[in-house]
Amino acid sequence: METAMLVEPQKQRKRFISELLEEEGLRVESFDTAEEAVGQVEKIAPYVLIMDVQTTSRSGLEILERLKDSHVPVLLLTARHAIALRHDLYAVGDVVSNPLANDELKARIRGLLRRERGRPGMRRGRQVASHPVASHVLPELHDPSSGRLDAKRIAEYLGVALSAFAKFSKMSVPGLHKSPASVSLQEVLIPIARSVTILSQLLGSKEQVRAWMNSPHPDLGGRTPISVVLEGKSRAVRDMLEAALAGQPS
C-alpha cells in the first residue's frame, strides 16, 4: 500500500485529511511539525505529501529543500504567500491558501491524487521529471534554467500578447519582456499555469485549450475564462477546474 505523508498541527484537520487519504486507498504517516517529519522523506518515500507551512523553521526549510530533489507530489498549505515566494515553494509543489473549507480541501487533494494516478509511465512514490515544477505544471510553461514559471511562455501557450499580463501582474510591458520569470510574478502565474495544465490533461491539445479558454462559460456568468484570467481573477478559473479534475461538478 502506498503511503501519504501528512504534516498538520491541527487535530481536527489532521483527522479529516487522514480519513480522506485512507478513503483513497493510502496509508497515512502523520506528524504535528516539520521537526518531527524531517529526515523521514527518504525513509517513507511517500506517494504524496501534504504539509501545512506555518513557520520557516530550519527543519521546515530543510524538508522543503529535500522535496525539491525528491520529486514527491506535494500540496502545501500556507496562510502567508510571502513565505511561499521568499522560499520558492512554487518549485516544490501546489501552493494553496489556508485555511480552506473542507469541501475545497477535499477537492484539491483528490485533484492531486487523480493527476498523479493518471500520469502514464511514472513510478509511484518517486517520480522522475526534468524539474520539480514539471510534475505540477506543463514543462513548457517554465524557464528551464531557473525552474520558475515564465509569463512569456504561458502567454504564447494561451495565444495572447504578453502585454495582456501587464495590468494584473503590476509589471510594465518592458519589465515583463526583460524578466518574464521574475520571482515577483510567480504568485500570479501559478493559478494560470495550473489551469492550463489541467485543461491540457482534460482536453489534450493546445488548440483545444485555447478554444475552451475563449468560449463563454455559464459558471463564469457567461464570460470567457481568458477574459476572467486577464482581469487578474485566474484563481476563479483554476478552482473551477480543480473541482472538475477531482470529479466534482463545477
The CATH homologous superfamily to which domain 3-132 belongs is: Response regulator (3.40.50.2300)
The residue whose grid cell reads 518592458 is 174
Distance from CA of residue 60 to its chain's centroid?
19
Q: Is the pLDDT of residue 7 over 60?
A: yes
Domain parsing of the chain, residue ranges: 3-132, 137-245
Secondary structure class of 160 (helix, strand, coil):
coil
pLDDT at residue 126, as a whole number? 39
List, edge to edge, every strand of the sheet that includes 3-7: 27-31, 3-7, 48-52, 74-78, 94-97
Gyration radius (Cα) of the chain, Å:
18
**Please, what is the Cα angle at 73 between 72 and 74, to 5 degrees?**
105
Cell of 234: 485566474
Select the more confidently predicted residue: 44 or 166: 166
What is the rounded average pLDDT of the residues 33-56?
Answer: 78
Q: Which residues pair with 31 in a beta bridge?
A: 7
Confidence of residue 127 (pLDDT cuts 50, 70, 90): very low
Secondary structure class of 121 (helix, strand, coil):
coil
What whole-number distance in Å separates Cα of residue 93 and Cα of residue 72? 8
Q: What is the mean pLDDT of the chain?
A: 79
The residue whose grid cell reads 484563481 is 235
The residue whose grid cell reads 494561451 is 158
Give the pTM: 0.52
Confidence of residue 122 (pLDDT cuts 50, 70, 90): very low
Q: What is the pLDDT of residues 162-216, one digit of tens each?
A: 999 988 888 889 989 998 988 778 888 988 998 998 898 888 889 999 999 999 9
Q: Is the pLDDT of residue 105 over 50?
A: yes
The listed range with the strongest mean pLDDT (38-47, 54-63, 74-83, 188-197) is 188-197
